[in-house]
A and B are shown apart, each in its own frame.
Chain A
Amino acid sequence: MQKDTSITASSLIARNKIIKNGQCIFEYPGNAETLLNETYNHFEIAYPKFHKMDMLCKLGFLAAEILLKGTNHENKYRETETGLVLSNAYASLDVDLKYAKTIQSGASPALFVYTLPNIVIGEIAIRHHFKGENAFFVFKQFDGNFMAGYVNHLFGNHLIKNCICGWVDLFKENYRALLFLVEKDNPENAMAFTAENLNLLNLPEHG
């Protein structure tokens, strides 16, 4: 079991707030769609493909953008060195229903393309050119034990040098994204990447 991996950044999008490393850096009232679009505008992300994404992908994409902001990630790692391990409970149900409505009148390919939860990983990978190990799991709730075990295993087998992992879930107005950046170095004030710490950070008081 890897003892020297640590959580070097975190991002949380929930209840109209954008929280980076425990600090609220933006908030906007309104529904999920409004929040995500305003967040995109506020941080001047300039990635037109964003507007084509379904709600789950917008959520995951933004959570990853916020997570990596200011970390100098693109200069630290090569394309195959970053792992992406995400999970959720609703899979792609939000867009599944939207797509299903279009079948009668003319199935929409742009919606169909999103009817798989791992497309979130695809969008993040395309944006940042990540070609490393990637996986998507469906669980009833965030499982810190599984996540820590699985990701530390990847580090232990030298398959990755850093990992973006966590939870990206959305169904209608019910949304929550909690991502962690996990690296091998151990900066003094960084939290160790363990199941206990993941479960702790997932508690409501933290967001």
Chain B
Amino acid sequence: MEKLKKQIIERLNLKDLKPENIGNDQPLFVEGIGLDSIDALELIVLLQQEYNIRLSNAEDGPRVFYSVRTMADYITAHSGAVKVSP
């Protein structure tokens, strides 16, 4: 998840944040980190580019991207043998 946090910070240009500022279970959207709908779309591109996973239904977004942990679980579940290390 540390690697994932770094990727999120870089892709979303979250200049004031470091990986230690993002809790594993902290909500990413609205409260918490305060990401918006465009950030959600960027995370979809991130999944595709870094993990080769295609999220074709935008409505799944809120569930998958709820927190870093839910993202990591989703990636593990859809990557076959590749496990995302904490």
Contacts and interface: CB of A to CB of B under 8 A. Distances in A.
Given A51-B14, A51-B15, A109 B38 contact: yes
Contact of A110 (B16, B34, B42, B48): B42
Interface string A25-48: 000000000000000000000001
A113 B12 CA distance: 14
Interface string B9-27: 0001111100000000000
A109 B45 contact: yes
A185 to B, nearest CB: 38
A98 to B, nearest CB: 12
Interface residues of B, number: 13
B41 interface: yes
B57 interface: no
A107 B42 CA distance: 9
Given A48-B34, A113-B38, A106 B45 contact: yes
Contacts of B13: 51-52, 110
Interface residues of A, number: 10
A109 B34 contact: no
Given A51-B14, A51-B15, A52-B13, A106 B38 contact: no
B16 A107 contact: no
B16 A106 contact: no
Contact of A109 (B15, B41, B49): B41
B40 to A, nearest CB: 9
Interface of A: 48, 51-52, 105-110, 113
Top-4 shortest CB links A-B:
A109-B41, A51-B15, A106-B49, A106-B45
14 contacts: A48-B34, A51-B15, A52-B13, A52-B38, A105-B49, A106-B49, A107-B45, A108-B42, A109-B41, A110-B12, A110-B13, A110-B38, A110-B41, A113-B38
